[in-house]
Chain A
Amino acid sequence: MEALLSNLALGFSVAFTPEALMYCLIGCLLGTLIGVLPGIGPVATIAMLLPATFALKPEFSLIMLAGIYYGAQYGGSTTAILVNIPGESSSVVTALDGYQMARKGRAGAALGIAALGSFFAGCVATLLLAAAAPPLAQIAFKFGPAEYFSLMTLGLIAAVVLAHGSVIKAVGMILLGLLLGLVGTDVNSGMARFNFSIPELSDGIGFVSVAMGIFGFAEIIKNLEQGEEREVFVNKVGRLLPTWDDVKQAYPAVLRGTALGSLLGILPGGGAVLASFSAYTLEKKIAKDSSQFGKGDIRGVAAPESANNAAAQTSFIPLLTLGIPPNPVMALMVGAMIIQGIQPGPQVMTEKPQLFWGMVVSMWIGNLMLVILNLPLIGIWIKLLTVPYRLLYPAILVFCCIGVYSLSNSPFDVLVTACFGLVGYIFVKLECEPAPLLLGFILGPMMEENLRRAMLLSRGDATTFVTRPLSATLLGISLLLLLIIMLPAIRKKREEAFVEE
């Protein structure tokens, strides 16, 4: 407890400097700004804004990126409630009841409860992160290369289980991601692989290019194809503060959502999307009167919104303690850390405590800022929603292009991004979920490295993965997950769970 308090005190001393507060604020504002725009999720938002943080000190850069992340989450729910177009997939369920509330003239209450519920969830999850991280990092120090390899396997398999659509295609996307991640110079031998004598490729394919192409450009093309159908409830947002009755009805849902979200966020492959879906389903199941769900029940907004924010926060736990990203957003954070010269993993906490605890505390501050900012600024966000897409998408393109170009100040990255835009569009057409690909892409080199080291240590004996107890346990869980999803009953359930999308 004392250690926790002194750690948090250290964090506050970093995060409460004017500079840190400013970057947190800028991050939250930019994140919300982009997150509000329909059709741009947090992955594309972070990829787009990433280059803007390169010039900053590592602490500030990560604080700002974290701010962008929850800003994008908040922005997404605003869009879901007001336009019925979820800005990102974790707000899909929010749209179900939130939009109906808006149609009944209670948009304000929906937005208010979403903000307050998220803030509460954010507080709890931040505390959880602060409490759980040090002991988890201790475990992580016991990890050898075999354990890391098994852990990444578990993470990737979990990502498959939780991906939408076909399991076997998700496995394919992971393998494809792993392979693409291997393009470039092999760290062990110094040999350039799959570069076809293109000098720029010997540094590998930039992950920003992959993320922005697949999640940014491909999305824009898809949106343009579908055409514009939007109906914004601008006139009758109503009072923002929920009534006492609303609060009484919503707070148990907030509590349950927070608990469920915190738990699911930690799981590899989990994260905000799964959390919000499960929270909504849970509320519907346990409600005495579930007839109002889908017609504007406040619990249907409160639970998923709390859950997705809690999960967004706790998904930092595996990233910061093990160095393993549980979802694509965290994969981008890994990329950002590596660019800043920080190797994610348990050593970050001991070697760079200011950075670690500063970031944890700034998460809480970021949440607070969002409540304070978003409710009064809601008018501006609504205005933004009324800007037609034909004006929005060129702006998005411009920012993406500037961002990618500035990665290396050469046309090369822009061309690669354009290629991945086309590739991403093909994925959409073939119904191949791209999230597992990005995860595999980031994990590819790490997996190869750990596999090699583990095999070197065991002198070529592959049984090392099952004879070491920790590694065997992790692989056992992976196998179990795969078996479970193969069961016909579960398979059907899973298909149902994602059908609402």
Chain B
Amino acid sequence: MHLRNPKDFWSGIMFAAIGFAFAIVVKVYEYPMGTASRMGPGYFPFVLGNALGILGLIILLKSLVTNGGVVSKFAWRPIAWILGGVIIFGLTVKMVGLALAIVTLVIIASFGGHEFKLKEQLIAAVILAAFSIGVFVYGLKLPFPIWPSFFG
């Protein structure tokens, strides 16, 4: 099928899916609905979820009769390197310490860019690590370990 307005079509799908999902969760997990005068925890999300779901369907239907832009290709390379680097930082920083975690993050994230110059990025990473440790650990006293925990 040829989509006339792909951006709105997919937006509609997104809104409808998320909206109805919220409403379904309310039902499946049996959050109490309560009454209009004493609303339970399920009331407001159920109404909102359905509202969003219906709105999504409207956007979807409208997209079939209007013309609009195509969804350009996802830039998976930066997505993967940037978010991957962030996730690895989050998972490892407590174990390997801030110094190593920052250097790792900078190097990984650099692969998401257009050009990669190892020497330059390494220097940048070391400077960043030193600066961050100075400001955040010594200055703001945030409780980060600096060195890997297996060094003692």
Contacts and interface: CB of A to CB of B under 8 A. Distances in A.
* A and B held together in a complex: yes
Contacts of B90: 401, 404-405, 411, 413-415, 418
Interface string B1-43: 0000001101100110011001001000001100111111110
Contacts of B86: 217, 397, 400-401, 414, 417-418, 421
Given A169-B8, A182-B45, A455-B39, A422 B128 contact: no
A451 interface: yes
Contacts of A447: 44
Contacts of A461: 37
Nearest to A414: B90
B83 A421 contact: yes
- Contact-size category for B: 35 or more
Interface string A17-48: 00000000000000000000000000000000
A400 B105 CA distance: 11
Contact of B106 (A220, A398, A404): A398
A189 B128 contact: no
B127 to A, nearest CB: 9
Interface string B35-76: 111111110110011011001101100100000010110110
A310 to B, nearest CB: 33
Interface string B70-98: 01101100110011011101110110001
A220 B82 contact: yes
A15 interface: no
Contact of B55 (A175, A405, A456): A175
A38 to B, nearest CB: 15
**Chief secondary structure at chain A's binding surface:** helix
A127 to B, nearest CB: 34
Interface string A409-429: 101011101100110011001
A228 interface: yes
A363 B69 CA distance: 43
B94 to A, nearest CB: 8
B82 A460 contact: no
A499 B22 CA distance: 35
A233 interface: no
Contacts of B105: 394, 397-398, 401
Given A55-B141, A171-B55, A395-B124, 20 more contacts: A169-B11, A172-B55, A175-B15, A175-B52, A182-B44, A221-B82, A224-B78, A224-B112, A393-B109, A394-B125, A398-B132, A401-B86, A402-B132, A405-B89, A405-B90, A425-B74, A429-B72, A430-B11, A447-B44, A460-B38
Interface of B: 7-8, 10-11, 14-15, 18-19, 22, 25, 31-32, 35-42, 44-45, 48-49, 51-52, 55-56, 58-59, 62, 69, 71-72, 74-75, 78-79, 82-83, 85-87, 89-91, 93-94, 98, 102, 105-106, 109-110, 112-115, 120-121, 124-125, 128, 132, 136, 140-144
